[in-house]
Amino acid sequence: MANRTQSKRITLSGFILAASVVFIYTFYRPKIVGKNLDIDIGWKTKIYQENRQEKRIVSKNNEPTKRSKESLLLRRIPQVICIGVKKCGTGALKSFLGKHPKVKLPTEAEPHFFDNNATFEKGVEYYRSLMPLSRKDEITMEKTPKYFVTEWVPERIHKFYSSQSIRPKFILILCNPIDRFYSEFVHVYTGKTYNITKKIKKNPTVAELVHELTENVSSTLNEIVRSNNLSSNHKHVAFTQFIRNNYEASLLTNGFYMFHLSRWLRYFSKDQLLIVNGEEIIKRPWNVIEKIQDFLGVDKVITKKDFFYNNEKGFYCVHSCLGDNKGRTRSLSLEKRSPFPLLTLDDRITLRKFYEPLNEALYKFFHRTFYW
pLDDT of residue 59: 35
Residue from 354, 23, 365, 367 nearest 176 by CA: 354
Give the chain's mean pLDDT: 80
Q: Are strands 169-174 and 273-277 parallel, antiparallel or unpaired?
A: parallel
Higher pLDDT, 57 or 356: 356
Could you give the CA distance from residue 48 to residue 336 in angstroms, rounded to a whole number? 44
pLDDT of residue 103: 98
> For the chain, what percent of residues have pLDDT higher than 70?
73
Q: What's the first-to-final CA gap in the chain, in angstroms?
A: 28
83 pLDDT band (50/70/90 cuts)? very high
21 pLDDT band (50/70/90 cuts)? low
325 pLDDT higher than 60: no
- Return the minimum-mean-pLDDT range out of 6-10, 81-85, 104-108, 143-147: 6-10
How is domain 2-366 classified at the CATH fold level?
A: Rossmann fold (3.40.50)
11 pLDDT band (50/70/90 cuts)? very low
54 pLDDT higher than 50: no
Residue from 142, 149, 76, 147 nearest 109 by CA: 142
C-alpha dist (Å) from residue 13 to 198, 343, 355? 25, 19, 11
pLDDT of residue 273: 97
**Domain boundary assignment for the chain:** 2-366
User: How many CA atoms lie less than 13 Å away from 225 in the CB half-sphere?
Assistant: 18
The residues pairing with 141 across neighbouring beta strands, listed in sequence order, are 80
Higher pLDDT, 333 or 89: 89
Q: What are phi and psi of 142, to 5 degrees?
A: -130, 165
187 pLDDT higher than 90: no
> For the chain, what percent of residues have pLDDT higher than 90?
50
112 in the Ramachandran plot: left (φ > 0), alpha (ψ -120 to 50) or beta? left
Q: pLDDT by residue (tens digit) across 263-311? A: 999 999 999 999 999 999 999 999 999 999 999 999 999 999 999 998 8
209 pLDDT higher than 80: yes
C-alpha dist (Å) from residue 264 to 24, 158, 203, 243, 292? 15, 9, 35, 17, 20
pLDDT of residue 93: 96
Quote the pTM value.
Answer: 0.81
12 pLDDT higher than 60: no
Q: What are phi and psi of 94, to 5 degrees?
A: -60, -40
Instruction: Give exposure, 7-29, as e/b (b: 16+ Cβ within 10 Å).
Output: beebbebbebbbebbbebbeebe
Could you give the CA distance from residue 36 to residue 367 in angstroms, rounded to a whole number? 37
348 pLDDT higher than 70: yes
Higher pLDDT, 188 or 276: 276
